[in-house]
Amino acid sequence: MAAVNLTRRGILQAGLGAVAVALLPRGASALPVSYQLTAKRVAKTLPGCVGPSDLWLYDDGRNETLPIVLRAARGENFTAALKNELAEHTAIHWHGVRVPFAMDGVPYITQPPVRPGESFEYSFAPPDPGTFFFHPHCNTVEALGRGLAGVLVVDDPRDQGLFDVEHVIALKDWRVQHDGGFEDFLTDAGAAKAGSFGALRTANGMVTPSIMVPPGARVRLRILNLDSTRIPQLDLPGVKAVIVATDGNACAPFALQGWRLGPAMRADVAFIAPEKTGVAILLQDIFSTKPRVLARIVTAGEAMRSTKAVLRLPEADLPQPDLKAAQTLEFTLLAGNPDPALQAWAKQMGVSADEICLTQKVFWSINRQVWPGMGQGTGQGALPPPLAELKSGRSYIIELFNGTPHQHPMHLHGHTFRVLGSSERDLPPHWADTVLVRPKERVRIAFVAGQPGDWMMHCHIIEHQETGMMGYLRVA
Ligand code: C2O
Ligand code: CU
């Protein structure tokens, strides 16, 4: 392939597709990358609609896929210059990437909001390889609902030669109507229960796309759930599909069948493609009795013979928590009551609640604290008090107890934690940045407190996040 000799920057300029980049030998990729991202409104007709929808997208100048896919190399500098052409302020949160605190993209907490017309340069060297994504962190329910998200793949030279082909499959539903208009992104009925679902289900912006793989190839699918609400239960019948990475981090392979991929969660799935051409295997959501086909993987082209297929990634290289020395913290997820101090923070900031990413409605809480208005304000700082104060470099175990009748995918910023186990089910030990906690379940996670800062922790069902189920851990 001619593109092999190009630098990564050259590839971007040449405008080759994400798939072409994906097929490059990994060794050729360890170069710094820089992207220009414009957050803007784009009128685009979604599948099955008769009129265009008012989407918000990151424009990287190529826009070959919905959402766009950026690539970085582990440990190499990555730069994304964001220009805000939206009518409201924004920022980019690099979900799951252990970025420096100032790069975490939470307006008012890690950086000033990027106002309309302004720019902000994100620059960091991603320490861990894997499948990540990025999105804004204010008015997220509308922004994500309109499509404002992108995929970030961090390549690892150690993966070289392990797979013959890889594809990104980003799942997202749209609350779109036939004419292209959107329904309300946040509804009381949804926010107070399992969330508001979209009727149009897509993979990479398409309804049941066909994804081609060579017969006999060692295939890696990077599956991301970029929806704000839906929790598919994945299956890929017809092949022996295993999960080789959770939230981007390598794990001891376990069977894909039945794995629940909550909002923001990712699963790297590996399998050997069928030997014959023209065979379709179906990526399905088997949550309901009638399985739903999300994408079709079809064998086409010249067959590959994989002599020794080891469907496994090199072990994740993450800070190992010391479980013996770890301090245990308990976080209980409950319904929340409106706090009389709801507007205190806004008042201190001297702005309206909307402007600083608060909502007036409260349905959920963590440890009986709601976001915002936890307690009566801090008196001095602008921020409500943290859920807990941690010491950088120390190990912690967090027990997440779900006292509600709904599932909550709980996400911690800036850290990759070890999921130790569940009170209710067998969970393979794995690394994650988002863990699904089922009703009445107690899930234990462990991690080493990272860089100093106020790291958000919240449910990634965005309507829950925006109606109280959010807080932060202060690492000092
Ligand atoms: Cu992807 Cu604070 O979230
Ligand atoms: Cu939730």
Token pair for 401: 């107890």
Mean pLDDT over 56-77 rounds to 95
Average pLDDT, the chain: 89
Token pair for 4: 């092999």
Which position has the token pair 């702005």? 351
List CB contacts of 97: < 8 A, sequence separation 6 or more: 124, 126, 128, 132, 152, 154
Question: Residue 475 to residues 164, 321, 326, 331, 386: CA-CA distances in angstroms?
Answer: 41, 15, 15, 17, 10
The verdict on domain 1-315 having CATH code 1.20.1250.20 is no
Q: How far is the CA of 397 from the centre of ligand 2 (A)?
A: 20
Q: What is the pLDDT of residue 348?
A: 65
Q: What is the Cα Rg of the chain in Å?
A: 21
Atom of ligand 1 nearest to the CA of 413: 2
Atom of ligand 1 nearest to the CA of 458: 2
Q: What is the pLDDT of residue 23?
A: 42
* Residue of 158, 133, 142 whose CA lies nearest to 69: 133
Closest-CA residue, ligand 1 atom 3, reads 95
Query: How many CA atoms does the CB half-sphere of 356 hold within 13 Å?
Result: 22
Question: Residue 210 to residues 69, 171, 227: CA-CA distances in angstroms?
Answer: 18, 14, 20
Ligand closest to the CA atom of residue 92 = 1
Q: Which helix (H) or strand (E) holds 372?
A: none
Atom of ligand 1 nearest to the CA of 264: 1
Atom of ligand 1 nearest to the CA of 96: 1
Q: How far is the CA of 238 from the centre of ligand 1 (A)?
A: 34
Are the CB atoms for 349 and 435 separated by under 8 Å? no
Specify the 3-state DSSP secondary structure of 380: coil
Residue 198 pLDDT exceeds 90: yes
Poorest-confidence range of 19-28, 376-385, 452-461? Answer: 19-28
Q: How far is the CA of 469 from the centre of ligand 1 (A)?
A: 12
Mean pLDDT over 217-227 rounds to 98
**5 band by pLDDT with thresholds 50, 70 and 90:** very low
Question: Residue 455 to residues 178, 271, 352, 412, 473: CA-CA distances in angstroms?
Answer: 40, 36, 23, 7, 5
Residue 57 pLDDT exceeds 70: yes
Burial 171-204 (b: 16+ CB within 10 A, else e): bbbbbbeeebebeebbeeebbbbbbbebebbbbb
Q: How far is the CA of 25 from the centre of ligand 2 (A)?
A: 40
Q: Print the SS3 string covering 53-67.
A: EEEEEEECCCCCCCC
Ligand closest to the CA atom of residue 436 = 2
Residue 22 pLDDT exceeds 80: no
What are the tens digits of pLDDT across the range 233-289? 999 999 999 999 999 999 999 999 999 999 999 999 999 999 999 999 999 999 988
Q: What is the pLDDT of residue 341?
A: 53
Residues framing ligand 1 (Cβ under 6 A)? 93, 95, 135, 137, 264, 411, 413, 456, 458, 460
* Residue of 227, 302, 292, 294 whose CA lies nearest to 266: 227
What are the tens digits of pLDDT across the range 285-334? 999 889 999 999 999 999 987 766 789 999 999 999 999 999 999 999 99
Specify the 3-state DSSP secondary structure of 230: coil
Q: For residue 372, say if its preceding peptide bond is cis, omega within 30 degrees of 0.
A: yes
With a pLDDT cut of 90, the percent of the chain lying above it is 80
Question: Residue 212 to residues 209, 266, 280, 298, 439: CA-CA distances in angstroms?
Answer: 10, 21, 9, 5, 38
Q: How far is the CA of 134 from the centre of ligand 1 (A)?
A: 8
Q: What is the pLDDT of residue 111?
A: 95
Question: Domain extents for the chain?
Answer: 1-315, 327-475
**64 band by pLDDT with thresholds 50, 70 and 90:** confident
Q: How far is the CA of 213 from the centre of ligand 1 (A)?
A: 32
> Could you give the CA distance from residue 148 to residue 228 in angstroms, rounded to a whole number?
12
CATH number for region 327-475: 2.60.40.420
- Where do runs of H (alpha helix) occur along 332-406? 344-349
What are the tens digits of pLDDT across the range 350-361? 656 666 676 667
Q: What is the pLDDT of residue 307?
A: 65
What's the sign of the alpha-carbon dihedral 119, 120, 123, 129? negative
Alpha carbon of residue 112 to chain centroid = 22
Are the CB atoms for 146 and 43 separated by under 8 Å? no
> Could you give the CA distance from residue 428 to residue 260 in angstroms, rounded to a whole number?
13
Closest-CA residue, ligand 1 atom 1, reads 95
Q: What is the pLDDT of residue 395?
A: 98
Burial 131-144 (b: 16+ CB within 10 A, else e): bbbbbbbbbbbbbb
> Could you give the CA distance from residue 361 to residue 259 in angstroms, rounded to a whole number?
32
Q: What is the pLDDT of residue 202?
A: 98
Q: What is the pLDDT of residue 283?
A: 98
For residue 5, the tally of other CB atoms under 10 A from its CB is 8
